[in-house]
Amino acid sequence: MNEFFDDYFSEIDKGCRSIDYTKLITISEMIKKVNVEGGTIFIVGNGGSAAVASHAAIDLTKAANIKATTFNESSLLTCFSNDYGYEYWVEKALQFYANVNDMVILISSSGESKNIINAAKKSKEIGLPLITFSGFSSKNQLREMGDINLWIDSSNYNIIEIVHQTWILSVIDNIIQSKI
């Protein structure tokens, strides 16, 4: 049984350390710039990635004093999914809520979620800075769409989500630390 946990935690550690730290620094600077310009950080994911997005948005807002939000409100999600189709609901939410000074962070373990791919396309169409988090195949669609694309080489949802959460929270903690 210890072997399972050794391997599991080793994969998390390997994933966390696989990132180019300059990307994390650049994301920190991008978020600070959006904040100075009065923009909002929109963070979106599905399932466990939606939970990561919520955690990050709350920490940015409360701990870093940077305006951030998700589209996890059930009435919005179900209304837009019903009216426009699930694959378009995030795109439509960005169309209704995003402004020129905003930024979008999209999280998809597979990098193939249609609603997230469509949101990436809308972000680029609007001209918003876009950060992506993905896993699974190195050739997933989302990984090619952002201004900065963070990818973990894993096919285990929980490992991917843990690493994504660690990366995004490290960015937030970096921002908080730089304000001290």
CATH number at residue 121: 3.40.50.10490
Domain that holds residue 28: 2-179
Could you give the number of structural domains in the chain? 1
Residue 173: what pLDDT? 98
Question: What are 104-140's pLDDT values in tens digits?
Answer: 999 999 999 999 999 999 999 999 999 999 999 999 9
- pLDDT of 180 > 70? The answer is no
Q: Give the whole-angstrom CA distance, residue 119 versus residue 130.
A: 10
Q: Give the whole-angstrom CA distance, residue 99 versus residue 96.
A: 9
Query: pTM of the entire structure?
Result: 0.97
What is each CA distance from 101 to 9, 118, 172, in whole angstroms?
Answer: 39, 20, 19
What is each CA distance from 129 to 26, 120, 145, in whole angstroms?
Answer: 12, 10, 11
DSSP symbol at 139: T
**What residue spans of 63-179 are helical by DSSP H?**
74-84, 89-97, 114-126, 157-179
Question: What are 73-105's pLDDT values in tens digits?
Answer: 999 999 999 999 999 999 999 999 999 999 999
